[in-house]
């Protein structure tokens, strides 16, 4: 149900209040509905993009530059899924297991996750060698507002209020009693049994930091809210050519034969043996004709015989040729952190976000190692050739092409001096406050985050069901 006149229902008691209606919040609400549990979603934005609402996402970044925080998320119904790319893939088992979670605890939600994201649950993986796998992404076209608005409208269990700006949670002695929210310029304090913050990979930290500041006796001061913030560096690692037929021959029936891009990812072996972070190599589905010529010209100068072979392959249309993009894991560094700005506040009087962010030297080293090892594999099997970007080869720099994934800040763990939520996503030492979204990721892996966000939200609904019953 969409609530137009909040005054009429302001005294209703909802057992669960969810803050935010992005993929994390809506997935949780949909699963609670299946379990016949009522919830109220408080969404700050409107049903469509609204410039005024977006202003609340203003933030300041100190350190290395990243995509403007106002542009890399959307404050509206459906959240940032309103303009996401839709690349989806479960995180690798070895990435999840470092979180203290059993992989099966989230993989059991794969079918439901695919239903929500309108995907085939088909993420093949085939081993190239000890260090690399060919992997498969699926591409979701789901905009959460568009797909689920009608369902929410008709729902008996989900109630939604838009234009409802949550400021903070109120409580003491380990219990949240209410949430403070401004709806149509009026302030309310709403009670519930369970509260979930699902406001995205920056706002979850901001709301909890503000909650800590306004409540003397609710959140343990040692809990590192805002710390260990991460993104996925998305960079060009170099250029190269790969012979598709030969790759197919090598992988036999395990070759992931589809018309999409070519995706190769690190295995756990290279990560542990070379002491690097995980990452993936991506080559476009369509050949880049301009780069073709450049690569061939270079090859003819440095290695004329090989250059001729490659030129011939061009006519056979057998080459994957072009820029080699990389999506990389980023180190979880305690100093990369979200804080509240000391002087600047938004229109509702909440301090804006101040993010300290420095690129990690380990990510640079990992990018170089991955490219080098992949290059060696191509030479050994005579499948292709690649060239590293100079800045990466010399360990000088990598250029982030876009920073759109926001992870960490309310990370998962057992130790309350190094984490904010436990593995059930409950804030340490608080009985009834949960966090959903990529802010709970303990490490980033290399896979895009939303698939895992949805899995975790579905799992959270079971935790909430247990708690309520
Ligand atoms: C350009 C771009 C491309 C992307 N491409 C991909 C991709 O290909 N694959 C992928 O997996 N991910 C991608 N992402 C990331 C993806 O969009 C996010 O991972 C996902 O949207 C996060 O879901 P969420 O529900 O946690 O947060 P959000 O989607 O950000 O939703 C948070 C919700 O909370 C609401 N909210 C915030 N503050 C408050 C408040 N104070 N009170 C009430 N409500 C509040 C917001 O309005 C919003 O509706 C991309 C992001 C961008 C910007």
Q: Which residue has the tokens 């609340």?
A: 56
Taking CA atoms only, the protein residue closest to ligand 1 atom 47 is 75
Taken as a whole, the chain contains a residue count of 469
Residue 353 token pair: 């976000």
Taking CA atoms only, the protein residue closest to ligand 1 atom 30 is 200
Find the helix or strand (DSSP H, E) in which 281 lies: strand 279-283
Quote the CA–CA distance of 117 and 121 in Å, as a whole number.
10
Taking CA atoms only, the protein residue closest to ligand 1 atom 13 is 84
Using a 6 Å cutoff on CB, does residue 86 contact ligand 1?
yes
Q: Which atom of ligand 1 is nearest to the CA of 23?
A: 25
Do 204 and 198 meet the contact criterion of CB atoms below 8 Å apart? yes
| CA 205 – ligand 1 centroid, Å | 14
Taking CA atoms only, the protein residue closest to ligand 1 atom 37 is 199
Identify the CA nearest to 348 among candidates 169, 155, 116, 186.
Answer: 186
The residues, any chain, with a CB within 8 Å of residue 226's CB and separated by 6 or more, are 205, 206, 208, 209, 337, 338, 339, 409
Instruction: Calculate the alpha carbon distances from 425 to 73, 113, 158, 295, 296 in Å.
Output: 22, 18, 21, 48, 52
| CA 81 – ligand 1 centroid, Å | 6
Q: How would you write the pLDDT of the chain (469 residues) with one tens digit per residue?
A: 999 888 888 788 899 999 999 999 999 999 999 999 999 999 999 999 999 999 999 999 999 989 999 989 999 999 999 999 999 999 999 999 889 899 999 999 999 999 999 999 999 899 999 999 999 999 999 999 999 999 999 999 999 999 999 999 999 999 999 999 999 889 999 999 999 999 999 999 999 999 999 998 999 999 999 999 999 999 999 998 888 788 888 888 777 766 678 899 999 999 999 999 999 999 875 666 666 667 677 777 777 777 777 666 665 566 677 889 999 999 999 999 999 999 999 999 999 999 999 999 999 999 999 999 999 999 999 988 999 999 999 999 999 988 899 999 999 999 999 999 999 999 999 999 999 999 999 999 999 999 999 999 999 999 999 999 8
| CA 22 – ligand 1 centroid, Å | 6
Q: Which atom of ligand 1 is nearest to the CA of 350?
A: 41
* DSSP tag of 128: S
In order of their start, the domains of the chain are 6-58+70-121+140-225+410-468 (3.50.50.60), 234-328+362-393 (no CATH)
The residues, any chain, with a CB within 8 Å of residue 392's CB and separated by 6 or more, are 235, 237, 238, 364, 367, 368, 371, 398
Q: Which atom of ligand 1 is nearest to the CA of 447?
A: 11
What pTM did the predictor assign?
0.94
């Amino acid at each position: 149900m969409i609530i137009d006149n909040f005054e009429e229902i302001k005294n209703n008691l909802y057992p669960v209040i969810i803050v935010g209606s992005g993929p994390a919040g809506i997935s949780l609400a949909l699963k609670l509905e299946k379990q016949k549990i009522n919830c109220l979603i408080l969404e700050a934005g409107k049903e469509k993009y609204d410039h005024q609402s977006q202003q609340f996402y203003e933030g300041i970044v100190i350190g290395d530059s990243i995509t403007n925080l106002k542009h890399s998320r959307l404050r509206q119904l459906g959240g940032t899924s309103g303009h996401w790319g839709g690349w989806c893939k479960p995180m690798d088992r070895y990435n999840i297991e470092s979180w203290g979670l059993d992989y099966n605890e989230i993989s059991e939600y794969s079918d439901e996750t695919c239903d929500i994201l309108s995907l085939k649950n088909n993420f093949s993986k085939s081993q190239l060698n000890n260090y690399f796998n060919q992997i498969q992404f699926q591409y979701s076209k789901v905009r959460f507002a568009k797909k689920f608005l009608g369902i929410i409208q008709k729902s008996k269990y989900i109630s939604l209020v838009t234009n409802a700006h949550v400021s903070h949670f109120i409580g003491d002695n380990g219990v949240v009693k209410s949430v403070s929210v401004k709806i149509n310029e009026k302030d309310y304090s709403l009670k519930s049994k369970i509260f979930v913050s699902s406001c995205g990979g920056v706002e979850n930290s901001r709301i909890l930091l503000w909650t800590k500041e306004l409540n003397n006796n609710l959140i343990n001061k040692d809990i590192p809210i805002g710390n260990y913030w991460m993104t996925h560096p998305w960079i060009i690692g170099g250029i190269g050519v790969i012979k598709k037929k030969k790759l197919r021959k090598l992988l036999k029936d395990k070759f992931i034969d589809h018309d999409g891009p070519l995706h190769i990812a690190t295995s756990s072996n290279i990560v542990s043996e070379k002491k690097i972070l995980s990452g993936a190599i991506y080559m476009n589905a369509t050949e880049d004709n301009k780069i073709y010529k450049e690569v061939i010209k270079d090859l003819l100068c440095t290695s004329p015989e090989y250059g001729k072979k490659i030129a011939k392959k061009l006519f056979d249309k057998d080459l994957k040729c072009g820029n080699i993009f990389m999506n990389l894991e980023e180190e979880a560094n305690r100093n990369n952190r979200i804080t509240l700005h000391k002087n600047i506040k938004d229109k509702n009087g909440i301090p804006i976000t101040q993010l300290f962010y420095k690129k990690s030297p380990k990510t640079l080293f990992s990018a170089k190692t991955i490219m080098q090892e992949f290059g060696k594999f191509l030479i050994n099997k005579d499948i292709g050739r690649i060239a590293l970007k100079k800045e990466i080869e010399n360990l000088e720099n990598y250029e982030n092409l876009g920073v759109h994934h926001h992870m960490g800040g309310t990370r998962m763990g057992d130790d309350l001096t190094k984490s904010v939520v436990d593995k059930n996503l409950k804030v340490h030492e608080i009985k009834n406050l949960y966090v959903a979204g990529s802010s709970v990721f303990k490490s980033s892996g290399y896979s895009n985050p939303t698939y895992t966000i949805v899995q975790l939200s579905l799992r959270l609904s079971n935790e909430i069901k247990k708690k309520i019953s």
